Structure 1
C-alpha cells in the first residue's frame, strides 16, 4: 500500500509549468523568510526558501509526498525549538508555525494553485510584521469589546444559518435571512471601522471624523459640534473638515452597501454618489490649502461600541419597518410612495434605508433605478439631519461653511440624478446584466 502511495509518477512534466510553480513557492518562502531574517531569527531567508521549495516539490509529486514534506518541516520546527530551549532562548513557536504554513503553501503551489497560497503567505507575513501593533491592540481591547465581537460572530455563524430561507408571512413581505444579513453587514462595517479608529486613535480630527462617519456620521457631527462650543473659533476650520469628511464617509458606506446587496441598484446611484463624494473631497482639499498654520486640537471622541445587541435590534427593526412600509407604499402609491419612505428612513438610519432599498430591488419589488434613487434621497436626508446638529453649535462661521458645503454636495447629487435620467438608455444594458444576489 505504501509503495503505491509513494510511487513516483511516470508522466513527463511540462518544464515551464513546473518551473513557474517552483518559482512561486520559492518566492513565497523568501517573502516570509525576509521578515524572519530582519528579526534575526535562526530560521531566515534561506531556510524558508528551502521549505517553500520542499513543499512545492511534494505537492507536485502527489498527496503522499506533500504530506511527507509537511511532516519533515514539522520535524525541522521541533529541532529548532529544541535547539532554542537548550540555549535558554525560549521557544520559537511563532517561527515554527510560520514554517508549517510555508510548507502547506508550497504544497498548494506544487498542485497548481496560485492566488490561494499567495494570499495565505502575504497574510502570514503581515501577522509577523505587525507583531508590535497587534500586541498593543490586543492589550488595549476591553472585555466589552471582546463580548461585542463574540456576539457579532454568534449572530453571523450560529443564528443566520438557522433562519428560514425565502419570504414568510401571508403577503410574503418579510425575508428573515435578508433582514438578518443586512444587520450583520451594517454592524460588520461599523465594527471594522471602529477597529481602524481605535488603531489610529485621535491623531487628527479629520482622520477621526472620517472613521467616525463610517460608523455613524450623525454621532460624529454631534461630537465635533460639541468641541466647537468648547474650543471656540480656533477649532472651527478643523471641525468643518471633520464634518465634511464624515459626510463623505457616509456616502462611501452607502455605496458599499448597494454594491454588496444590489449591484444593479448601485449602477443607478453611482453617478450621484460619486459626484457628491468628489464634491466633498474637493471642499476638504480647498479647506486644507486655505487653512491657517494653527491646525487646532483633535477632539477626544468617546465613541461607543459600534456593535451591541441593542444596536443590532435597532438596525433590524428599522430595516424591517422600512422594508415593509416601502413595499406597501410602492404597491399603493407607486415609486413616489417608496421615495417618501426613503426620505423618512434617512432620518432614522441612512444605512438601514439604503439596505432596505437594495433588498427590495433584489426581490423585484422596485426597479434597480428606483432603489438607487431612494438610496440617494436617504443620503440627502442624512446630510440635512446632520446639519441640524451643526446649527446648535452657535458658531456662525462654521454654520455658514457647513451649510454651503451641504448645499454644494446636494447640488452635485441632484446633478447626478438629472444626468442619470438622460443616460438611462445607455445604463439599462448594464443593469440587466447584473443579476441580483439573494442571501
Structure 2
C-alpha cells in the first residue's frame, strides 16, 4: 500500500475537516441539555466523525467512506431505537452522519465542504426561529407556492432541453422555463415586500410590487381605486407610474436571461426609462405621503400558476410569430411582430426578439427597434386603461408620466446608436 504524504495541501484539508467537526460539534454541545436525557453527542464526537471521514477517504476513497458511513448510520439507528421513549429526534444523528461525509468531502473539495458545514450550523442554530416561522408566520398558501417555485426551479428546469427547436427553429424550452421561473420569483418577491411593509408607505409600494406581476393590470387597479376614493389620488398615481419601473426591471432581467448581447445595446435606453419613471413616481409619492395612509391591501397569492403558464404560452406564441414574420418579411417582420405583441405583453416580445439575436438571425443593434416598438405599443395599452378608469385627474397625471418614460427610452436608444 502506498504511504500517505501528509505535506502541503493534505494537511490543510485535514485541518478543514477538523474545523468542520469542531464548528458543528460546538453547536451541538450547547444543545446537549442536562440530566438523564442529556445527549451523548457533543463537540468531541463530531470532531472525531469529521476526522474519521477524512481518514476514510484518504485510505480507501469513496468506497471506504461509504462503508464507514453505513456503519455509523447503523449505530445511530440502534441508538435511536434504544431511546425511542425519550423521543430524541433525528437532527443530531443526521448531523453526525453529514459531518462524517463532509470530512471526506474536505479531502476533495474543501471549499464546498466548509460552505456546507456553515449552512448546516446555521440551520441547527436557527431551530427556534425556523419552527416559529413555519408554524406561526408562514401560511399554507405561502408554503404551497414556495414548494411549487422550488419544484419549477430544481426539478423541471434541469429537464428542459437547452436547444432551439420546433417550427422555424424558434423555441428554446429552457429559455422559456427560465423566464417563467423569473416571473414567479419576482411575483413572490413583490408579495413578500407587501407583507413585510404593509400599508405604511401606501399605494406607491403596492404599485411597484404589483407591477412585477402586471403593470397594465396595476394601472387599471390604481385608476379604479383613485376613482373610488379621491383622497388616494396621488398615491394611486405614484403606484401606477412606479409599476412601470417594475416593467423596466423585469425587461432587464428577462433580457439578461435570454441574450446578454441584446441587453448590452439596450441598457442605456432601459436606464433612461427607469430613472424617468422612478423620478416621476417619487414626486407623487412625496405628495401622497402628506395624505391619509391607505388601509391594508389584499395580498392575494404569492405565485399564480395560471399567470406563469399563460406567460409561457404567450412567450412561445410570440417567438413563433416573430420567427415566421422574420423569415417571410425579413427584419420588418420582426418589428411588426414585436409591436403587435407589445399591446398584450412587452416582455414576451423582448424575449422573442432576443432569441432571434441568440440564433444569429438578426444582430443585437437590429433588436433595438422592435423591442422599443413593443414598449411603445404597451404604453398605448396602459394609456387606454388609464382613460378607462374614468378619473380625469388620474388620467391627466399618469399619461404624461407614461409618455415621458417612453420618450426617455427612445432618447436613450438614439444616444446609444450615436444620433446625438
Tell me, yes or no, whether TM beats 0.5.
yes
Which residue is equivalent to 2:253?
Answer: 256
Paired position in structure 2 for 1:133: 133
Listed one character per residue, the Cα deviations across residues 5-30 of structure 1 (whole Å, up to 9, x for unaligned) are xx6x5142333x23543454455556
For 1:287 and 1:38, locate their aligned partners in 2 and report how far apart those are by CA, in whole Å: 53
Q: Which residue of 344, 359, 363 corresponds with 2:340?
A: 344
Of 399-408 and 409-418, the range deviating more from structure 2: 399-408
Secondary structure of residue in 1 paired with 2:417:
helix
For 2:400 and 2:412, locate their aligned partners in 1 and report how far apart those are by CA, in whole Å: 18
Q: Alpha-carbon deviations, 1:86-106, whole Å to 9, x = none?
A: 5x2x23223433333333333
Tell whether 2:228 aligns with 1:230: yes
Mean Cα displacement is larger for which, 61-70 or 365-374? 61-70
Q: Contact 2:177 / 2:312 at 8 angstroms: preserved in 1?
A: no
SS in 1 for 2:88: coil
Which blocks of at least 5 consecutive residues in structure 2 are unaligned? 34-38
Q: CA deviation at 1:72?
A: 6.0
**Residue 421 in 1 paired to residue 417 in 2?**
yes
Please say if 1:306 is aligned against 2:298. Answer: no
Structure 1 residues not aligned, in runs of 5+ = 1-6, 425-439
Counterpart in the other structure of 1:354: 350
Q: Give the direction of change, closer, same or farther, for the CA distance of 1:187–1:157 in structure 2 (3 Å limit).
A: closer
> Deviations along 1:64-112, whole A, 9 cap, x unmatched?
45335534653675477457645x2x23223433333333333222213
Distance apart, 1:352 and its partner CA: 1.4
SS at match of 1:240: helix
| 2:184 counterpart of 1:188 | no
Write the distance in 2 (CA, Å) between the matches of 1:186 and 1:85: 48
Shift of the 140–304 alpha-carbon distance from structure 1 to 2, 3 Å rule, reads closer
Against the structure 1 CA distance between its residues 81 and 307, is the aligned structure 2 distance closer, same or farther, given a 3 Å change threshold? same
Judging changes above 3 Å, is the alpha-carbon distance between structure 1 residues 409 and 175 closer, same or farther for their aligned structure 2 residues? closer
Aligned-pair Cα RMSD in Å: 4.1
Matches of 2:273 and 2:387, distance apart in 1 = 22
1:282–1:134 CA distance, 2 compared to 1 (3 A): farther
Relative to 1, partners in 2 of residues 1:26 and 1:325: Cα closer, same or farther, differing over 3 Å?
A: same
Is residue 26–residue 49 contact of structure 1 (8 Å, CA) maintained in 2?
Answer: yes
Partner residue, 1:427: none
Partner of 1:70: 69
Conserved 8 A contact 1:280-1:405: yes
Displacement after TM superposition at 1:132 (Å): 3.3
SS of the counterpart of 1:238?
Answer: helix
CA contact (8 A) 2:375 2:406 kept: no
**Which of the numbers 97, 102, 105 marks the counterpart of 1:100?**
97
Q: 1:174 to 1:28 in 2, by over 3 A?
A: same
Deviations 1:212-236 (A, max 9, x none): 3223222333333333333332x33
Q: CA deviation at 1:316?
A: 4.8
Report the CA distance shift for 1:136/1:399 in structure 2 as closer, same or farther (over 3 A).
farther
Cα pair 2:153 2:181 within 8 Å, conserved: no
Q: 1:269 touches 1:373 (CA, 8 Å); kept in 2?
A: no
TM-score normalised according to structure 2 size: 0.76
Count the aligned residue pairs: 403
Q: Secondary structure of the residue that 1:212 maps to in structure 2?
A: helix
Q: Tell me: CA distance 1:32–1:155, structure 2 relative to 1, closer, same or farther (3 Å).
A: closer
Give distance in 1, aligned partners of 2:78 and 2:19. 24
Structure 1 counterpart of 2:36? none
- Which one of 212, 215, 218 corresponds to residue 217 of structure 1? 215
Is 1:238–1:295's contact at 8 Å kept on the other side of the alignment?
no
Contact 1:268 1:373 in 2 (8 A): no
Cα distance in 1 for residues equivalent to 2:395 and 2:43: 58
Question: Displacement, 1:263?
Answer: 1.6
Contact 1:350–1:378 (CA<8 Å) still a contact in 2?
yes
Looking at structure 1, the residues matched to 390 and 164 of structure 2 have their Cα atoms a distance apart, in angstroms, of: 50
Residue 390 of structure 1: CA displacement? 3.1
Measure the CA separation in 2 of the matches of 1:419 and 1:334.
26
Give, in angstroms, the shift of residue 47 of structure 1: 5.7
Instruction: Give the Cα–Cα distance (whole angstroms) in 2 for the partners of residues 266 and 193 of structure 1.
Output: 19
User: Hey, what does 1:374 align to over in structure 2?
Assistant: 370
**Structure 2 residue aligned with 1:433:** none
For 2:205 and 2:31, locate their aligned partners in 1 and report how far apart those are by CA, in whole Å.
Answer: 31
1:18 maps to what in 2? 10
Q: Deviations over 1:265-296 (max 9, x none)?
A: 11111221233233334445555555327432
1:267 and 1:374 map into 2 onto residues whose CA distance is 15
Question: 2:26 and 2:191 mapped to 1: Cα distance?
Answer: 29
